[in-house]
Structure 1
Amino acid sequence: MPLERILIIFVKYPEPGCVKTRLAQSIGKDKAAFLYRMFVELLLKKTSDMSFERFIFYTPAEKREKLSSWLGGGSKLFPQIGDNLGQRMSNSFRFAFAKGARGIVIVGTDIPLLDKEVLLTAFKKLENRQCVIGPSLDGGYYLLGLSHFEGKIFQNINWGTDKVLNQTLGAVKRLGLTYSLLEERFDVDDIEDLVRLRLSLRRYKKAGSPELDFLSGRLDELSLNTH
């Protein structure tokens, strides 16, 4: 039976010194890796009971056994394939659409404040739009959704720069795709982002979200000097 909706999650194995490297310069590689691990687990927890299939595309390929042990044997794990982020995303979308999906959304694990409503909205918009994008404050995007495979969206993009969003929107318009933009979010890549996250968590504390309370508590446990 074809899978109607698929959420693709890009994950790195949380090896200290290999994840959150910019953040590690400020808080140390072990704490940075711990935070990354926590962000991944939080996203998986948020999406565990939602009405779509989850495909986890991971890197590096040789860490499959450790990833399976960490994330659980029931996780659908696939290696990321490609020489850059664009190729890896393109290949992941191609693979998932080959399963018969009518709507696919991809997210990373750098947006701890990403909530279920945003994901549901993205899938809903794909019912009458060909593309949906969640812009991030750094000039990139935290979410991309497609109603069909369109590999050219990932070509000629300066990955890792503040030009990613505008270049992607340019490609979308040149291809004549209908699209919708979601609300802006921020990645947690460096110490300034971490400060912003802690301030945001304090503002959201009254909402009574178990996930946000968990995240706030774990940040406090690390005794991070972000004040």
Structure 2
Amino acid sequence: MPLERILIIFVKYPEPGCVKTRLAQSIGKDKAAFLYRTFVELLLKKTSDMSSERFIFYTPADKREKLSSWLGGRSKLFPQRGDNLGQRMSNAFRFAFAKGAREIVIVGTDIPLLDKEVVLTAFKKLENRQCVIGPSLDGGYYLLGLSHFEGKIFQNINWGTDKVLNQTLGAVKRLGLTYSLLEERFDVDDVEDLVRLKLSLRRYRKAGSPELDFLSGRLDELSLNTH
């Protein structure tokens, strides 16, 4: 039976010194890795009860056993393939569409305040749009949704720069795809982003949320001095 919707999550194994490297320069590689691990676990908690299938594409390829032990044996794990982020996302979309999915959304793990509702909104918009993009404050995007495979979206993009969003939108428009933009969000890549996260948590937690309590508790464990 083909899968109607697939949520793809891109994950790195949280090896100290290999994740959140910019943040590690300020808080240390062990704390940065712990924080990244927290972001991954938080996203998995938020999306655990969604009706869509969930595929986790991971890197490095030789960490499958450790990832399975960390994330749980029921997680559907697939290695990322490609020389850059664009190739890896393109290959992930191609793989998932080959499973028969009609709507696919891909997210990273750098946006700790990404709500499940945002992902659900992306899937909903794909019912009458061909592409959905969630812009991030750094000029990239935190979410990309497609209703059919379109590899050219990932070509000729300066990955890792503040040009990614505009270049991707340019490709979408040249291809004549119908699209929708979601709310802008910030990712956590450096200590300034971490300060913004802590300030945002003070506001969001007033509404009450087990996930935000989890995140706040993990931040408290780190005893970070970000002032």
Report TM bin, short chain: over 0.9
Deviations 1:156-187 (A, max 9, x none): 00000000000000000000000000000001
Percent identical: 95
- Secondary structure of the residue aligned to 1:77 is strand
CA deviations over 1:72-103 (Å, ceiling 9, x no partner): 11100000000000000000000000000000
Structure 1 residue 220: Cα displacement:
1.2
How far off its partner does 1:203 sit? Answer: 0.8
TM-score by length of 1: 0.99
Does residue 1:73 correspond to 2:73, yes or no? yes
Deviations 1:51-74 (A, max 9, x none): 100000000000000000000111
C-alpha separation in 2, matches of 1:28 and 1:221: 14
- The worse-fitting range, judged by mean Cα deviation, of 42-51 and 163-172 is 42-51
Could you tell me how far 1:221 is from its partner in structure 2? 1.5
Partners of 1:2 and 1:133 lie apart in 2 by 24
Equivalents in 2 of 1:207, 1:110: separation in Å?
22
Instruction: Give TM-score scaled by structure 2 length.
Output: 0.99
Flag as ranges the 4+ runs of structure 1 deviating above 2 A.
Answer: none
Q: For the residues of structure 2 that align with 1:213 and 1:73, how far apart are their CA atoms?
A: 26
RMSD after superposition: 0.4
Do structure 1's residue 88 and structure 2's residue 88 form an aligned pair?
yes
Determine the C-alpha separation between the residues in 2 that align with 1:170 and 1:163.
11
Cα deviation for residue 119 of structure 1 reads: 0.5
- 1:123 corresponds to: 123
Superposed CA offset, 1:83-126 (max 9, x none): 00000000000000000000000000000000011000000000
Counterpart CA distance in 2 for 1:35 and 1:185 is: 18
CA distance in 2, matches of 1:118, 1:75: 22
- 1:199-210 correspondence runs (5 A): 199-210=199-210
How far apart in 1 are the matches of 2:197 and 2:79? Answer: 30
The count of residues paired between Structure 1 and Structure 2 equals 227
Q: CA deviation at 1:226?
A: 1.0
**SS of the counterpart of 1:196?**
helix
Q: 1:16 Cα shift?
A: 0.1
Q: Which runs of 5+ in 1 are unaligned?
A: none
Q: Tell me the distance in 1 between the aligned counterparts of 2:102 and 2:186.
A: 28
